[in-house]
Amino acid sequence: MSDFFQNGIITTLHNLADRPIEDLEAQLALFARDRPMTLVLPCLYSELAQPALKNILAELSKARYLSHIVIGLDRANKSQYIEALHYFSVLPQRHTVLWNDGPRLGQIQDKLRGLGLAPGELGKGCNVWYCFGYVQAVGEAKAVALHDCDITTYDRGLLARLLYPVAHPRFNYEFCKGFYARVAQGKLNGRVSRLLVSPLIRTMKKVTGQHAYLDYLDSYRYPLAGEFSMQIDVLKDLRIPSDWGLEIGVLSEVFRNYSTNRLCQVEVADRYDHKHQPLSEQDVSSGLSRMSMDISKSMFRKMATFGTVFDMGTVRTIKASYLRVALDLIESYASDAEINGLHLDRDAEERAVEMFASNLLKAGESFLNSGEDTPYIPSWNRVTSVYPCVFNDLQAAVSQDEQEHHPDAISC
C-alpha cells in the first residue's frame, strides 16, 4: 500500500486501493475504441529460453484491450527468427516480430547509415528506436507502452496501470513513467538507481547549483525503470541514446519537449524483479560498470546543454561530493532494510559506490575529451524528412520477412 504524497514537479499516481485488474481492463477496453494501444517489447533471442518471458506472454494474452504488440528481436539468425515467430504465435492479439538482424531490415539500416542517420551502436536503444519507427509506420496506435522481457514478477496489472494515464480521454498526460519498490527475495535491489543516480542528481545540485532539470529528475521515484508509456505524437521528436543511458535519455527528451504538468509517474507493481546484471568491477564494457559509465556521461552531456561548464577540477569535485552523498545514503538504506527485515550487504554496497565513483571520474574525462560525439539517434521526424519512404520500406520488410518464414504469422 502506497502513500499519497506528491513530491517534486511531476504528478505521482499511487496504488492506494488495490483496484481490481478486471475493473481497470474494462475501462481500458472502452478507451481503446477511440485510442488504440500498442505495446513494444524489446527482446533478445536468448530471453525466449527464460521462464520470465513465458509468463509475460501468458499474462499479456489476457490483455485483450491491446490492439497490437510489436516485438523487436535482437541477436537472432534465420532459424532463431523462425522459432521466435512460432514462440510469439501464442498471443491472441495482432503481433509483429521485427527481425533486426535480418537482411531486409539490414538493407534499411545500411541506407540509413549511408545518410548518416543510423544508430551509432547496437543495443536496447537501437532496438526500441526501430520499434518506435515501425509503430509510426503502421499508423494505428494512439498510445504506446514499453517494458522489458525479463521481468520475473510480471502480471498484467503492470501494463494496465502503465497505459491508463495516457489512454484515459480526460487525462492530459503525454508521458508516463512506471515505478515500484525494487525489493525481492528478502533483499533491497536497484543499486544503480539508489547508489548512482539519486546521489549523482543531488551532487549535481550541490556543485552546479539548483536547476529545474535536476529537480525534475529528482521527482521520479525510480528513474531507471524500463517501463513507460506515451501518446503516439511523442515518438516523432524523440531522440534517444543508443547506449545504456536510454531511460535517463528518454526522461531528458520529454522534459525538453513538454511542460512538466503533462508528465506523470504511476506505481505499477508492489514487487518487482528482473534479471540482475553483474557489477563487472574489472570491465567497464559490461554489466553495471558500463551502465554507470553511460548514465554518468549522459548526465554530463545534458547539463552541458543547459550551459553548465565542466572542467577537470569540476569533475573531480563532483566525484568527491558524490562519494560522500552516496555513502551517507547507504546508512539510510541500511536502516530501511533493517526495520523491514530485509538483507543489505554493506560491504557490497560500498564497493559498488566506489566503482561508480571511479567510473564517474572516467565518464567526466571521456566527456571532456570527446566533444564531437553524437550519442543520440536522430528523431523519426528528421529521418522521414531525408528518407520519406522509410515507413513504407519498414512495413514492407517486416511483412515480407513474416510471409516468407511463417505464412501463418499475424502481420500488418
- Enumerate domains of the chain plus CATH numbers: 11-405 (3.90.550.10)
Average pLDDT over residues 124-146: 96
33 has pLDDT over 90: yes
The pLDDT assigned to 270 comes to 85
- pLDDT number for residue 243: 62
Closest CA to 263 of 301, 217, 224, 302: 217
Of 246 and 399, more confident: 399
Give the model's confidence band at 372: pLDDT under 50 very low, under 70 low, under 90 confident, else very high.
low
What is the model's pLDDT at position 182? Answer: 85
pLDDT of residue 281: 72
How, if at all, do strands 95-99 and 66-74 pair? parallel
Confidence of residue 122 (pLDDT cuts 50, 70, 90): confident
Which residues make Cβ contacts (< 8 Å) with residue 371, sequence separation at least 6?
A: none
Residue with cell 551517507: 328
DSSP lists the bridge partners of residue 178 as: 266
User: Partners of 151 in the beta sheet?
Assistant: 274
In degrees to the nearest 10, what's the CA dihedral of 51, 28, 94, 264? -70
Q: How far is residue 244's CA from residue 292's CA, in Å, rounded to a whole number?
A: 8
Confidence of residue 131 (pLDDT cuts 50, 70, 90): very high
| Range 63-67 average pLDDT | 98
Mean pLDDT to the nearest integer, 42-47: 97
Mean of pLDDT values over 54-83: 97
Residue 409, pLDDT score: 45
pLDDT-derived band at 412 (thresholds 50, 70, 90) equals very low
Averaged pLDDT, 317-340: 96
Report the pLDDT value the prediction gives residue 411, as an integer from 0 to 100.
42
Does residue 393 register a pLDDT over 60? yes
- In whole angstroms, give the CA distance from residue 72 to residue 350: 37
43 three-class SS: strand
CA distance 312 to 361: 9
Residue 264 CA to residue 168 CA, distance in Å, equals 13
pLDDT in tens, 230-280: 999 999 999 987 666 788 889 999 999 999 999 999 999 988 888 767 777
pTM over 0.75: yes
Note the pLDDT tens digit of each residue in 178-236. 999 888 788 888 999 999 999 999 999 999 998 999 999 999 999 999 999 999 999 99
The pLDDT assigned to 214 comes to 96
Torsion on CA atoms 400, 405, 409, 410, rounded to nearest 10: -20
